[in-house]
């Protein structure tokens, strides 16, 4: 793939457009969209113009919204309007969120009145809500019609010249509503095709047990689809009237975006919200710098603890040798616990009210890990130094691991309760907090076990 990208880039730079067109012609829409992700905005615009018109929209549909926005800003205005108009309403709404306000307004005003109203209605929902993600559903089935009548309706829909090609594409699951558009159930297209002639829709519909309102968070809706193995999820209003459906491909994009966001925040950085190679150095520094400042200020806690126990360190210098090992063990154990709980929160395996169960579980896990590590360290440190130091380190590791696992398990739950992304309180924050508190545990244990050595050295 890297060689193909380099070849495509060289052909574009050499203005060998026929060669570049030949390379693109051998790729499917998905592969072409993936190649575009490796090109800069100017190269993307040139390559996109080389695509046949019937392929261009398909490729554009597979691009992520940040890449779509980047490409649109590099294309001619007439081409931009054409591409934007070819998208489904939910994709148009997501793309507008990525565009500068003036460009978004111009694109929205360029739509026909009916499409403008459709997209505007989606934009009226909160940005991360299910309403923004749904496809407004124009085609619904009546429970009283027969299988043939339903098929005829779908055929008429597919042949409708006023619908975009994407809207005429087959739908795997179709909603069934009453005359007030209240949702009754869903019919799978496969069941509709296989049903005998004359079968009423009400006999093959599946009563809808899974649905969400338009203001539900997108991630909750996407997780529901994943857990229930749904191809489509109905979106309804407060009176159970159908507003639209969320398709499985859109749900997968939401889950991918959430996983990406958690990965950034778990590493102590803000999400980029744009392609990495398109982001400026200044942007990257800003996204990472905020957390570095917070964490370096938090590190003053560790410095203050070291100052408090300075006399202990001067009395038993060997204790300083093991400081990195002790706080490292605690930080790693806490980060592991935090990662587990963040993941469990994401897939709804735990909730903030489960905090006591999480504490009880994590304290046992932490103590078990500490005992395991302590058993390994004790003979090694005994041989290298003396048994008293070995006992101090081994006991400290047991307590620090237990404490770190509790901290790592509780902080994400507290974050969720406060309405903050739990991933924020993952690896960097937990490690920094455990470093400071772990040193207190370390020097307290040392002060008890090595009291005679400390007294002799300071006396």
Whether residues 219 and 335 share a domain: the answer is no
Whether residues 205 and 257 share a domain: the answer is yes
The answer as to whether 10 is a domain residue is: no
Whether residues 353 and 220 share a domain: the answer is no
Q: Which of 213, 242, 268 is the last residue of a domain?
A: 268
Whether residues 323 and 453 share a domain: the answer is yes
Q: CB neighbours (10 Å) of residue 10?
A: 12
Report how many domains make up the chain. 2
Whether residues 211 and 293 share a domain: the answer is no
Check whether 274 has a pLDDT greater than 70. no
| Domain assignment of residue 400, given as a range | 281-458
Structure confidence at residue 368 (pLDDT): 95
Confidence of residue 168 (pLDDT cuts 50, 70, 90): very low
Strands 242-247 and 232-236: antiparallel
Question: Quick one: average pLDDT of 200-227?
Answer: 86
- CATH number of the domain to which 355 belongs: 1.10.357.20
The answer as to whether 285 is a domain residue is: yes
The answer as to whether 57 is a domain residue is: no
Confidence of residue 166 (pLDDT cuts 50, 70, 90): very low
Structure confidence at residue 159 (pLDDT): 61
Nearest to 73 by CA among 270, 274, 249: 274
- What percentage of the chain exceeds 90 in pLDDT? 11
The answer as to whether 226 is a domain residue is: yes
The answer to whether 426 touches 269, Cβ cutoff 8 Å, is: no
State the Cα–Cα distance between residues 345 and 348, nearest whole angstrom. 5
Structure confidence at residue 167 (pLDDT): 47
Question: Quick one: average pLDDT of 65-91?
Answer: 70
The answer as to whether 84 is a domain residue is: no
Question: Quick one: average pLDDT of 101-130?
Answer: 74
Nearest to 36 by CA among 77, 75, 87, 90: 75
Whether residues 196 and 312 share a domain: the answer is no
Is pTM, for the whole model, over 0.75?
no
Handedness of CA 253, 257, 258, 262 (dihedral sign): positive
Looking at per-residue pLDDT, the higher value among 166 and 455 belongs to 455
Whether residues 229 and 151 share a domain: the answer is yes
Q: Which of 268, 296, 313 is the last residue of a domain?
A: 268
Whether residues 347 and 447 share a domain: the answer is yes
Length of the chain: 459
Whether residues 259 and 297 share a domain: the answer is no
Number of H helices, E strands in the chain: 25, 7
Whether residues 191 and 330 share a domain: the answer is no
The answer as to whether 4 is a domain residue is: no
Check whether 85 has a pLDDT greater than 50. yes
The answer as to whether 16 is a domain residue is: no
- What percentage of the chain exceeds 70 in pLDDT? 85
Model pLDDT for residues 321-371, shown as the tens digit of each residue = 888 889 889 888 988 898 888 888 877 788 889 999 999 999 999 999 999
Q: Which of 206, 233, 268 is the last residue of a domain?
A: 268
Model pLDDT for residues 284-333, shown as the tens digit of each residue = 788 777 777 777 776 777 777 777 777 776 667 788 888 888 988 988 89
- CATH number of the domain to which 146 belongs: 3.10.580.10
Beta-carbon contacts of 421 under 8 Å, excluding residues fewer than 6 positions away, are 261, 262, 265, 415
Whether residues 190 and 249 share a domain: the answer is yes
Whether residues 376 and 310 share a domain: the answer is yes
């Amino acid at each position: 793939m890297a060689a193909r990208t380099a070849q495509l880039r060289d052909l574009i730079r050499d203005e060998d457009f026929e060669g570049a067109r030949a390379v693109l012609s051998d790729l499917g829409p998905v592969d072409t969209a993936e190649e575009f992700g490796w090109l800069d905005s100017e190269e993307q615009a040139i390559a996109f113009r080389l695509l046949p018109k019937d392929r261009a929209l398909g490729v554009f549909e597979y691009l992520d919204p940040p890449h779509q926005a980047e490409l649109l800003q590099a294309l001619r205005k007439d081409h931009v309007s054409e591409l934007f108009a070819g998208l489904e309403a939910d994709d148009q709404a997501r793309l507008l969120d990525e565009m500068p306000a003036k460009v978004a307004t111009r694109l929205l005003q360029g739509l026909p009145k009916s499409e403008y109203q459709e997209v505007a209605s989606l934009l009226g929902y909160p940005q991360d809500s299910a309403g923004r993600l749904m496809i407004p559903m124009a085609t619904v089935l009546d429970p009283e019609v027969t299988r043939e009548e339903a098929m005829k309706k779908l055929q008429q829909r597919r042949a409708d010249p006023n619908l975009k090609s994407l809207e005429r594409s087959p739908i795997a699951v179709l909603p069934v509503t009453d005359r007030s558009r209240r949702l009754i159930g869903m019919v799978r297209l496969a069941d509709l095709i296989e049903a005998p002639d004359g079968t009423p829709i009400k006999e093959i519909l599946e009563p809808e047990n899974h649905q969400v309102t338009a203001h539900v968070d997108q991630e909750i809706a996407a997780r529901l689809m994943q857990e229930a193995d749904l191809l489509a999820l109905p979106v309804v209003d407060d009176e159970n009237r159908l507003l639209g459906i969320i398709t499985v491909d859109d749900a997968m994009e939401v889950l991918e975006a959430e996983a990406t966001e958690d990965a950034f925040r778990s590493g102590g950085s803000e999400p980029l919200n744009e392609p990495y190679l398109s982001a400026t150095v200044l942007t990257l520094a800003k996204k990472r710098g905020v957390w570095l400042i917070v964490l370096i200020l938090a590190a003053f806690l560790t410095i203050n603890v070291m100052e408090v126990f300075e006399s202990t360190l001067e009395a038993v210098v060997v204790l300083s040798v093991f400081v990195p090992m002790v706080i490292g063990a605690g930080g790693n154990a806490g980060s592991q616990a935090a990662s587990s709980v963040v993941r469990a929160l994401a897939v709804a395996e735990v909730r903030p009210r489960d905090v006591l169960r999480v504490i009880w579980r994590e304290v046992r896990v932490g103590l078990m890990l500490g005992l395991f590590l302590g058993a390994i360290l004790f003979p090694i440190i005994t041989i290298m130094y003396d048994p008293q130091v070995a006992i101090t380190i081994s006991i400290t590791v047991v307590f620090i691991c237990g404490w770190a696992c509790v901290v790592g398990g509780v902080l994400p739950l507290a974050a969720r309760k406060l309405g903050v992304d739990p991933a924020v309180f993952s690896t960097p924050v937990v490690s920094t907090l455990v470093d400071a508190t772990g040193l207190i545990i370390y020097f307290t244990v040392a002060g008890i076990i090595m009291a005679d050595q400390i007294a002799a050295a300071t006396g």
